[in-house]
Amino acid sequence: MTIEILGEMCGMRTDKQIYWYVRTHWRHFFPAIPCHQTFARHCKALSVVKQKILAEMFPPSDDLHVIDGFPIPICKLARRKRCRIFQGEAAVGYCAAKREYFYGLRGILIVNSKGRIISFVALPGNADEREAVPWLYDTITGWLLADKGFISSERAEDAGKHFIKLVTSVRKNMRQTMSYELATAVMRARHEIETVISRLSRCFDAQTTRTRSIFAMLGRMARKCLAYNLSLACPIT
């Protein structure tokens, strides 16, 4: 896992790239590194471990969290019927931010007020983003900021029973219940996750799967989330 995270922080995106980079430049630190095929199998087998490490190293630390989704395309929309990977898990979805349809998965990120990623959920592309909220019932408490896609009085009431106050943006035909100052502060805090998603996509290639199973993909995303969080604390120059 040290090799994986080091490779991600150094700009490597696949197991093969990470393996050969470390083998070429850092072999003296890892003299017992196995062959490429064994290394790739180990990366996949440690998927759950990496997710648990993310939860242990970066647990919920305050009463303010932000949630948002982003598309993870698998292939071009026109090729979806011939795609053999993620069958039964991927679907055609719509990205409101880009105003386009895609075929793949929908990633859901949860970050705290300091911009650290604390959790990641993967849903089918056509899934409702609000389905990710119940995953947080036993994890966080306090305010959960979201965009208009999470508007639901039933979901907000259900979240309130688990000590989570779901706060969303309002549509033009809805009445704003918060004061202007509070609404502005909420909007500013919610924009933090858009920056996180942008950096995760641009610097860590998070919107490309490069795997053939949801199990391996979750492990890969946990690796990227760990690398992202650690890069904030100790950036590599």
pTM for the whole structure = 0.87
145-185 residue pLDDT tens? 988 889 888 999 999 999 999 988 877 777 777 776 777 77
Q: In which residue ranges of the chain is CATH 3.30.420.10 found?
A: 60-212
Q: Of 189, 190, 197, 114, whose CA–CA distance to 148 is shortest?
A: 190
Q: What is the DSSP letter of 151?
A: -
Please give the structure tokens belonging to residue 14. Answer: 């696949």
44-87 residue pLDDT tens? 888 889 989 998 888 887 788 999 999 999 998 899 988 888 88
Fold for domain 60-212? Answer: Nucleotidyltransferase; domain 5 (3.30.420)
* Cα angle value 83/89/90 (rounded, 5°): 50
Please list the helix, strand and coil fractions of the chain in percent, rounded to the nearest 5, in that order.
45, 20, 35
Which pLDDT band holds residue 237 (cuts at 50, 70, 90)?
low
